[in-house]
Amino acid sequence: MKKKKVGIIFGGKSAEHEVSLQSAKNIVDAIDTEKYDVVLLGIDKQGKWHLNDPSSYLLNAENPKLIQLNKSNDPVAVVPGALDGQMIHANDGDALDQLDVVFPIVHGTLGEDGSLQGMLRIADLPFVGPSVLGSSICMDKDITKQLLAAADINVAKGLTYTHAQKAAINYETAADALGTPMFIKPANQGSSVGVSKVSTKAEFDQAIDEAFDYDHKVVIEESIIGREIECSVLGNAEPMASLPGEILPQTEFYSYESKYIDEKGAELAIPAELSADDVTRIQETAVKAFQTLQCEGLARVDFFLTEAGDIYVNEVNTLPGFTKISMYPKLWEISGLPYTDLISKLIELAIERHEADAKLKSSVW
């Protein structure tokens, strides 16, 4: 059987650029080379796309603090509707070999928020992960919480403000409504970027400024005391949930550094020590959240489990990390789906959805 060409898009103009590089490396290292040929498409921090050589696409690949994209001299561009290939060499206009499917692993802004997914849809390329709607919904913590609450799924109480409302943000008002400590987050960032835990007015004011550095909208949330549980979801029309895992942070909270740089920043209990009833409730809620938020392909659902047994959804991540310490692939591995097989399954789901979309009518005539 002819091998499929898989375009791995990584990097990007995002605060999570370096995480994306690590994720791409792990996918490249684990993908089944008997089934797939890899085409590496690295996006630098200025947004320029590069066709990269698999032997030299990263600098300092083994150091999360120093890892960098090795920019190539072969920039590429997307040409929607082209008959001989949707991507071209920008220097001479020659077409790249046709891609069969894309694995976008650009975390955060412009990669996980529906922007990249929309471009890939216009280019008529199958791609891994949720489509435009699910991606954009889950990227916005405010919209995510509104939809989950409407589906009777527990979420933390919170307040949301746009930049135009910044002058109305008041520590005393927030503390009266939510108690202390509080969490302040950019509404549209992932991986704990720009997130602060605050207990005083001085911390609050500084955290608001920092959150607005990353987004035009911020969310202020109550602090929920509970175990941090994560569950991986996989599938299209009939998604399934992995065994849950538990994050045991060794710092104040599960920060960006704890997730991706400091291997001692958190311990992972995989699977989590939970009763059979709690496992079932978490898995069922994970799938319900996945479907409520219009997800497809994959997502990681993050929970708080309180001492009273209440389950709260914290967030839903539609392109979770695939680094060597990332929970999403680790949970599937302990659930019986090894890393290489997981990547193959995600690619198959992408093609399955694309084929289903192609059967829809595009005209009334």
Q: What is the pLDDT of residues 275-331, one digit of tens each?
A: 999 999 999 999 999 999 999 999 999 999 999 999 999 999 999 999 878 999 999
Strands 196-198 and 182-186: antiparallel
At residue 255, the pLDDT reads 52
At residue 191, the pLDDT reads 60
At residue 364, the pLDDT reads 77
Q: Are 316 and 230 contacting, i.e. CB atoms less than 8 angstroms apart?
A: no
Q: What is the dihedral of CA 22, 314, 110, 215, to 10 degrees?
A: -120
Q: Are 315 and 137 contacting, i.e. CB atoms less than 8 angstroms apart?
A: no
Q: Are 45 and 15 contacting, i.e. CB atoms less than 8 angstroms apart?
A: no
Tens of pLDDT along 196-229? Answer: 999 999 999 999 999 999 999 999 999 999 999 9
Single out the residue of 216, 143, 204 nearest to residue 179, CA to CA: 204
Q: State the CATH architecture for 225-357.
A: 2-Layer Sandwich (3.30)
Which residues in the chain come in under a pLDDT of 50?
Answer: none
| Amino acid symbol at 228 | E
Q: Are 139 and 114 contacting, i.e. CB atoms less than 8 angstroms apart?
A: yes
At residue 67, the pLDDT reads 95
Q: To the nearest whole percent, how much of the chain has pLDDT over 90? A: 81
Structure tokens at 92: 């001479």
| Amino acid symbol at 59 | L
Tens of pLDDT along 15-30? Answer: 889 999 999 999 999 9
At residue 80, the pLDDT reads 78
For the 4-127 domain, the top CATH level (class) is alpha beta
Decide yes or no: CATH 3.30.70.260 for domain 157-222. no
CA distance 307 to 23: 34
At residue 15, the pLDDT reads 82
| Confidence (pTM) | 0.92
| Amino acid symbol at 271 | P
Structure tokens at 5: 């060409």
Domain boundaries in the chain? 4-127, 157-222, 225-357
